[in-house]
Structure 1
Amino acid sequence: MRILITNDDGVYADGIQVLAARLRALGEVFVVAPDRPRSAMGHAITLHKPLRLHRVHLRDGTVAYATNGTPTDCVTLGAHAVMEHRVDLVVSGINAGPNLGWDLTYSGTVAAAIEGAVHGINAFAVSLAAEEVLPLARETMEGEAPAEPRVEGEALAEPRVEGEAPAEPRKSEPLAPPRLHYETAAEAAYRIAQVLMRHPLPAHTFLNVNVPNLPLSEIEGFQVTTLGKRQYADRIEQRIDPAGRPYYWLSGSLIEERDQPGTDVYAVARGYIAITPIHLDFTAHELIAPLREWFSGEW
């Protein structure tokens, strides 16, 4: 079995390294991934400028390929330039954070699986549903602006005066970095890949997999699900940079429905690995007949 692995967190991300190590038990593994984090790229491709591939090494010494392109580009480059059209399976991940519900429309991780399906290759995306790694999922205090990355040369924040009360912590922010159970997601990917070896997916379909951030022993099992409701309440703030020019900062709070049985959001919240089959046909078939009636005679 020849497996192409990619992601949107970059070739040196922990998730892809753990995934590649686990899937080598199934056959020949090729890693082609972005040379830097390319999260929330959606299904973007690179046009009108060169794409480059560089041989790099994963932590265990395995050869991989890094590219300046997007996750979608990685699948095209991997399938055609690296693997010479002989690909049995595309696996994208392990993403550091969930791609549940409507999240998948933004996701570079999911887009790579989409591209695998476009090429007629069995494909799935796998994400570790650890909310703590997602800045947008953290609630901020009313009226508080999210912290920005410090610009080189910019003054550090003023130290707190001794005896001064510490700032109130963000409501949902963890006190310590979370333990990310990539080994659980890698084991899920291994078992799903085994199933797909026996039961290839129909044309133009792929799987979106979300794994609870739990030790393997605490996972309840697999559930086949539909997409749930998960989105962000956008908040756009206008700010002024040091040169006096306006810019905008996008933030938002998480909105999701965890009480709808059968959805990926519901399953993951209860300790199950959610496997959601997705079709490339986005057509809203229930609207075909009404639209024909509405537009009859309008032109």
Structure 2
Amino acid sequence: MHILVTNDDGVHAPGLSALVDAMKPLGDVTILAPDHNWSGGGHVKTLHRPLRVHETTLADGTPALSSDGAPSDCVALALLGRVTEKIDLVVSGINTFGNLGHDVTYSGTVTAAMEAVIAGVPGFAFSLAADDMTRERDYRAAAGYAGRIVRAAIAHGLTKDLLLNVNVPCLPAEQIKGLRVTRQGLRVYRDRLDARVDPRGQPYYWIGGDYPTGVPDEGTDFAALRDGYVSVTPLQLDLTCYELLRRMGEWEFGS
């Protein structure tokens, strides 16, 4: 089993090191991750400039590769041949914050796993669902669940469309109640536009706001985390709204 590990917080982020340690008992591990933080970068394919890849080492001396591309670029680079050995699955994370509900289209962590599935390789995204900037991160519990989930997926048979988005409560391991398979919930964003003027009199803008919340309907990722459970959400890349597709068959578009 050959596992590619990437993330969107940067190759030297502690969450990546924790995920690498969790994957090592499961097979051979290759690391190719961004050389800086790409949080919120979404699904990117860089075509307008060359991509660079450099050798580096993690804090414990583990060899790794870093790129100036996005997380999805890192996966594409590896699968298209920068990593010569066949890759059996891709794991991404462990992200510093949760990736819940609509976050999945913004998240470099999740879209790296999506890039794997586009190429026919199973993808897993792991996030630590801390709800503020100040809470201390301990990735050990999340890494433990990452190992358990990937091991279970291998045991049940990896398929090329396997795409799992996993969010782990930011709690000590003994306080996590277990694991739930969930659906995407509804993310509530509280974005604000901050308009400013630079020293030369030109306007510029920051998009900010309060930390988003979510609607914890039963069966959703938000409800699982609220109740102290790990959320495992199977995703698919087909975004077709089939109910609307059916209704649109009755529309009159005119001549």
Into which bin does the TM-score normalised by the smaller protein fall? over 0.9
CA distance in 2, matches of 1:66, 1:189: 22
RMSD in angstroms over aligned alpha carbons? 1.5
CA shift, 1:205, in A, is: 3.9
Q: Give the corresponding residue for 1:243.
A: 200
Q: Give the corresponding residue for 1:10.
A: 10
CA shift, 1:69, in A, is: 0.5
CA distance in 2, matches of 1:192, 1:205: 12
Q: Give the corresponding residue for 1:23.
A: 23
CA distance in 1, matches of 2:127, 2:172: 15
Give the secondary structure class of the aligned counterpart of 2:116: helix
Q: Give the corresponding residue for 1:53.
A: 53
**Residue correspondence of structure 1 range 141-180 to structure 2 within 5 A:** 177-180=134-137
| In the alignment, structure 1 residue 99 sits paired with structure 2 residue 92 | no
Q: Give the corresponding residue for 2:223.
A: 266
Q: Give the corresponding residue for 1:75.
A: 75
CA distance in 1, matches of 2:97, 2:213: 15
Q: Give the corresponding residue for 1:121.
A: 121
Letter in 1 for 2:135: P
| 1:237-257 Cα shifts (integer Å, max 9, x gaps) | 211122222111211234534
CA shift, 1:83, in A, is: 2.9
CA shift in 2, pair 1:76/1:267, >3 Å: same
Give the secondary structure class of the aligned counterpart of 1:249: strand
Give the secondary structure class of the aligned counterpart of 1:32: strand
**Contact kept in structure 2, 1:33 and 1:71, CA below 8 Å:** yes
Q: Give the corresponding residue for 2:36.
A: 36
**Contact kept in structure 2, 1:7 and 1:33, CA below 8 Å:** yes
CA shift in 2, pair 1:124/1:239, >3 Å: same
CA shift, 1:48, in A, is: 2.2
Q: Give the corresponding residue for 1:224.
A: 181
TM-score by length of 1: 0.82
**Contact kept in structure 2, 1:268 and 1:274, CA below 8 Å:** yes
CA shift, 1:81, in A, is: 2.6
**Contact kept in structure 2, 1:230 and 1:254, CA below 8 Å:** no
Letter in 2 for 1:244: G
**Contact kept in structure 2, 1:2 and 1:27, CA below 8 Å:** yes
Q: Give the corresponding residue for 2:143.
A: 186
**Contact kept in structure 1, 2:55 and 2:63, CA below 8 Å:** yes
Give the secondary structure class of the aligned counterpart of 1:18: helix
Give the secondary structure class of the aligned counterpart of 1:37: coil
Letter in 2 for 1:281: D
CA distance in 2, matches of 1:286, 1:258: 22
CA distance in 2, matches of 1:15, 1:208: 16
Give the secondary structure class of the aligned counterpart of 1:15: helix
**Contact kept in structure 1, 2:216 and 2:226, CA below 8 Å:** no
**Contact kept in structure 2, 1:124 and 1:209, CA below 8 Å:** yes
How many pairs does the alignment contain? 255
Letter in 1 for 2:115: E
CA shift, 1:276, in A, is: 0.2
TM-score by length of 2: 0.95
CA distance in 1, matches of 2:140, 2:158: 25
| 1:229-273 Cα shifts (integer Å, max 9, x gaps) | 113122112111222221112112345344311000110111100
